[in-house]
Amino acid sequence: MTILNTEGTKPIYIQIAEWIENEIINGHFQSDDKVYSQYQLADMYTINPATAAKGLSLLVDEQILYKKRGLGMFVTANAKEIILNKRKNQTLKRLVQEVVLEAKRLQLSETELIEMIKAEQSGEGQL
* pLDDT digits (tens), the chain, 127 positions: 567 777 778 899 999 999 999 999 999 999 999 999 999 999 999 999 999 999 999 999 999 999 999 999 999 999 999 999 999 988 888 899 999 999 999 999 999 999 999 999 988 765 4
Domain boundary assignment for the chain: 12-77, 80-122
Evaluate if pTM is beyond 0.85.
no
* Three-class DSSP category at 126: coil
* Three-class DSSP category at 64: coil
Provide the 10 A C-beta neighbour count for residue 37.
16
Rounded distance between C-alpha atoms, residue 123 and residue 88, angstroms: 21
pLDDT score for 5 = 78
Alpha-carbon separation of residue 2 from 10, 18, 86 (angstroms): 15, 10, 21
pLDDT score for 4 = 77
Q: What CATH number matches the domain at 12-77, 2.60.40.1180, 3.40.50.720, 1.10.10.10, 1.10.3720.10? A: 1.10.10.10
